[in-house]
Structure formats: structure tokens, C-alpha cells
Amino acid sequence: VGNMLFRLTEPALRPIRRFMPDLGGIDISPIILLLIIFFIRQFLLTTVVSLVV
């Protein structure tokens, strides 16, 4: 299960990890990925709503 999760998430997390500084064993790249997904979702929702209205 762990290997499968690593193989599924690594392509999305690897580019974020390249730009993040080393925080001494703390990996915040999943949090940053979730924030990016949230902002893209909000942007798309507001764009679609403004086009419909």
C-alpha cells in the first residue's frame, strides 16, 4: 500500500519538493499541493460562475 501511494503521489509532489528548502525532515509539499488544488478549484468555480451569469 505504501509503495502504491508513493508511486501515485510522487509525480505531483516531486516538482514542489525541488523548489522547497530543506526543513529538517518535515515535508510540507502535500500541504502546498492541496493549497494549489484549492486555489485552482476556486479560480475555476469563480470563472465558470462569471461566464454563466
pLDDT per position as a tens digit, 1-53: 999 999 999 999 999 999 988 888 899 999 999 999 999 999 999 998 888 87
Give the length of the chain. 53
Distance of CA 17 to the CA centre of its chain: 11
Cα distance between residue 47 and residue 45, in whole Å: 5
Report domain extents, the chain.
1-52
Q: Which helix (H) or strand (E) holds 22?
A: none
pLDDT at site 24? 87
Residue with cell 519538493: 17
Distance of CA 8 to the CA centre of its chain: 13
